[in-house]
Structure 1
Amino acid sequence: MTFAPALALEGVLSAQQLADTGKFILSQQLADGSIPWWRGGKLDPWDHVEAAMGLSALGHHDEALAAYEWSARTQADDGSWPMEQTDGVVTEAASDTNQCAYIATGVWHHHLVTGSTDVLLRYWPTVERAIDFVVRQQRPGGELAWAVDPQRKADDFALRTGSASALHSITCAIEIAGVLGESKPGWQRAAKRLRDCLVESPRSFADRDRYSMDWYYPVLGGALRGCEARDLIEQRWDEFVWPGFGVRCVNDHPWVTAAESCELVMSLDAIGETASATKVLSDIQCMRDETTGGYWTGYVVADEAIWPEEQTTWTASAVVLAVDAVTGTTGGSGIFRDYALAEEQDADGAAS
């Protein structure tokens, strides 16, 4: 059944506009359930799930399940998916650990939106294989190898953004296990080591300091909350946030991107900074295409130009999820706010 919940953000996006965004995502979904960046474009397992989450939040539950069914059907025996494919043809056979982990976030999100335990039971084998694959790539310091190559050899470096996102996915997988009565102490240990590495050993990760994702993802992924999270966001706010336009993708170019802006929105929501989150979300509406209901990937402020000239399903979905986060409309609105491994801190910085 398909229905449209009253997802809207007063003064920013109406229910009809968001319904149109849902139609845009649906228009790009293929008959087999897969959701590429756009029809004829590439598909990766993380963005496919992100798009499905947007469909869940907008009430397109059957279509979201078709996307998860595609994931289950195409999963490799080792629990992974290829990093990139187009129209079913694999174009990058390596497997990104963070991309593979994200199925747990998507399935848990669908459960939160719908209240269905059946979806957890149906896709538990898929989630279990995926998280087992990811945990096997954990390095001695706790960080996750970024990817495994086509010969299944793990890379010798890790990325802060990917590890932080995977931490959140492992946390969601542990939640699924708890509902189903499954014991996963190995996952719990891996998550604790990963969180400690993200917080205490930043040099364990390859240098991607110029990217805004490396700035806010420890908050979005749940490694940090409380005073530590607020301090982290404040430290580089002026470097990455462009008032009136959104969030830079990188700190050395005048290019703001809608998806990174929405992820910052959800990070801000997770630490209670709802007013700032709403302002950033409002600022990026310059990247909306009212004709399609979709969003352009980015905008070069200095040139007053859209770039690249593409509208992706995952960007549209990020907007949907950000609106849901700040409005608390669906049961899945707290997917990034409520599922964190961080120790909460009081105003004085003491763990509680």
Structure 2
Amino acid sequence: MLRPDVPGVLAADQAVQTGRAIAATQLASGAIPWFTGGHVDPWDHVESAMALSATGLLAEAERAYEWLRATQRADGSWPLQVRDGRVEDAGADTNFCAYPAVGVWHHLLISGDDGFAERMWPVVRSAIDFVLTAQRERGEIDWAIGESGTPTGEALLSGCSSIHHSLRCALALAEHLDQPQPGWEVALGRLGHVIRHHPEAFTPKTRYSMDWYYPVLGGALRGEAGRQRLFERWSDFVVDGLGVRCVDDHPWVTGAETCELVLSLEAVDEYDRARELLAAMQHLRDPDGSYWTGLVFADGKRWPEERSTWTAGAVILAADALSRTTPGNGIFRGEKLPTGLPLDNATCCEQVTGA
């Protein structure tokens, strides 16, 4: 199996070293915490597991997915935060619960293991059904469901954009296993529509770079519309030679956000910009192959003082997309992913025009 290799930026042996650094943090249970001694959440756990798959550590990746299968709750969710097997926050983040669909589809693409897909299908089906209980009529999905089972009443653009991608991957898995899910197709169409046409549906988080690029990363915006969105606020977030700001008014670049922008740019055919950004963030690489979370460039200090597994995971996924190496390299490009049932003539968008 070939490993991601971006000449002059990240060599294949460096990618493997990074995969092994993630694996070294994995617990005996299969869980992958943010860092040694840190907590586990489903989204970042999956991002790290995807990097294990992409670097050929398939057994370690499967242990990570087995942890998800073993810890999923009866309603299809996972706790928002767990540490050393103890639940620290029992609420459920809908984006976090949807994301295993992305990881399972990605691992299937790389491994070709239908047995794995069949084992994980009930997990994905239950998780997506849980997430869709928080979808509103217009299409947006509340960001969390509390312990009482009540949605928060607040939708976030970045989270809904990520769920949009998760739904596409879940539908791809359903099609592969001949398990039609027409309700998911309708939900995906409604969600894509609200992301593209109803910014008022979401709590404003415009200071954060994730709200800027996630509609592109999650596949709701592509082509010229996607490029225009990325170029509109380029100068607000991109710091030449260093990476991407997490927040537009803080002198702080973060590796994961930079690599997610790399994936977004690659998905709209902006390869050169994407490669430059992946090269720019390599100052966060540690000699052992792990990656520091971020840098406060005003004083040159790494902050927080942690090497996060999910940052390393994002690096590997960005490198794989740019190098088009593994069979999973196109997952953020949306290759062969269903688009859902288009929402035509939406009543929410009807306008009365004068003669």
The two structures have a TM-score, normalised by structure 1, of 0.94
| 1:336 aligns to 2:332 (yes or no) | yes
SS in 2 for 1:224: coil
Contact residue 37 and residue 313 of structure 1 kept, 8 A:
yes
Task: For residue 6 of structure 1, report the CA deviation from its aligned partner.
Answer: 3.2
**Structure 2: segments with no counterpart, 5+ residues:** 342-355
Equivalent position of 2:293 in the other structure: 297
Give me the CA root mean square deviation.
1.2
Task: For residue 340 of structure 1, report the CA deviation from its aligned partner.
Answer: 6.8
Equivalent position of 2:36 in the other structure: 39
| 1:79 aligns to 2:71 (yes or no) | no
Equivalent position of 1:168 in the other structure: 165
Q: Structure 1 CA distance, aligned partners of 2:265 and 2:214?
A: 11
Q: Structure 2 CA distance, aligned partners of 1:108 and 1:295?
A: 25
SS in 1 for 2:78: coil
Opposite residue 289 of structure 1, the aligned amino acid is D
| 1:277 aligns to 2:282 (yes or no) | no
Equivalent position of 1:320 in the other structure: 316
Q: Structure 1 CA distance, aligned partners of 2:112 and 2:48?
A: 20
Give the direction of change, closer, same or farther, for the CA distance of 1:258–1:342 in structure 2 (3 Å limit): farther
Counterpart among 81, 89, 92 of residue 89 in structure 2: 92
Equivalent position of 2:146 in the other structure: 149
Query: Number of residues paired by the alignment?
Result: 339
Task: For residue 283 of structure 1, report the CA deviation from its aligned partner.
Answer: 0.1
Q: Structure 2 CA distance, aligned partners of 1:250 and 1:340?
A: 32
Equivalent position of 1:30 in the other structure: 27
| C-alpha distance after superposition, 1:18-62 (max 9, x if no partner) | 121111101100011111111211100000011000000000001
SS in 2 for 1:42: coil
Q: Structure 2 CA distance, aligned partners of 1:279 and 1:340?
A: 30
SS in 2 for 1:91: strand
- Shifted more, 31-40 versus 323-332: the winner is 31-40
Q: Structure 2 CA distance, aligned partners of 1:323 and 1:195?
A: 27
Opposite residue 108 of structure 2, the aligned amino acid is H
Q: Structure 2 CA distance, aligned partners of 1:54 and 1:99?
A: 17
Contact residue 121 and residue 180 of structure 1 kept, 8 A:
yes
Opposite residue 298 of structure 1, the aligned amino acid is G
Contact residue 222 and residue 342 of structure 1 kept, 8 A:
no
SS in 1 for 2:99: helix
Q: Structure 2 CA distance, aligned partners of 1:45 and 1:97?
A: 10
| 1:215 aligns to 2:208 (yes or no) | no
Contact residue 157 and residue 211 of structure 2 kept, 8 A:
yes
| 1:238 aligns to 2:212 (yes or no) | no
Query: How does 1:172-191 map onto structure 2 within 5 Å?
Result: 172-191=169-188
SS in 2 for 1:5: coil
Contact residue 287 and residue 296 of structure 1 kept, 8 A:
yes
| C-alpha distance after superposition, 1:281-321 (max 9, x if no partner) | 0000011111x211100011111111111001111010000
Equivalent position of 2:351 in the other structure: none
Task: For residue 100 of structure 1, report the CA deviation from its aligned partner.
Answer: 0.2
Q: Structure 2 CA distance, aligned partners of 1:195 and 1:301?
A: 36
Give the direction of change, closer, same or farther, for the CA distance of 1:121–1:72 in structure 2 (3 Å limit): same
- Shifted more, 116-125 versus 57-66: the winner is 116-125
Opposite residue 332 of structure 1, the aligned amino acid is G
Opposite residue 260 of structure 2, the aligned amino acid is E
Give the direction of change, closer, same or farther, for the CA distance of 1:340–1:304 in structure 2 (3 Å limit): farther
Equivalent position of 2:305 in the other structure: 309
Task: For residue 264 of structure 1, report the CA deviation from its aligned partner.
Answer: 0.3
Contact residue 293 and residue 303 of structure 2 kept, 8 A:
yes
Opposite residue 312 of structure 1, the aligned amino acid is S
Equivalent position of 1:346 in the other structure: none
| C-alpha distance after superposition, 1:148-185 (max 9, x if no partner) | 11111111010000000011001100000101111101
Opposite residue 53 of structure 2, the aligned amino acid is S
Q: Structure 2 CA distance, aligned partners of 1:85 and 1:121?
A: 26
Contact residue 3 and residue 326 of structure 2 kept, 8 A:
no
| C-alpha distance after superposition, 1:245-275 (max 9, x if no partner) | 0000000001000000000000011111111
Contact residue 51 and residue 316 of structure 2 kept, 8 A:
yes
Opposite residue 307 of structure 1, the aligned amino acid is W
| 1:49 aligns to 2:55 (yes or no) | no
Q: Structure 1 CA distance, aligned partners of 2:176 and 2:19?
A: 30
Task: For residue 342 of structure 1, report the CA deviation from its aligned partner.
Answer: 9.0
Give the direction of change, closer, same or farther, for the CA distance of 1:140–1:335 in structure 2 (3 Å limit): same
Task: For residue 116 of structure 1, report the CA deviation from its aligned partner.
Answer: 2.0
Contact residue 223 and residue 340 of structure 1 kept, 8 A:
no
Contact residue 4 and residue 15 of structure 2 kept, 8 A:
yes
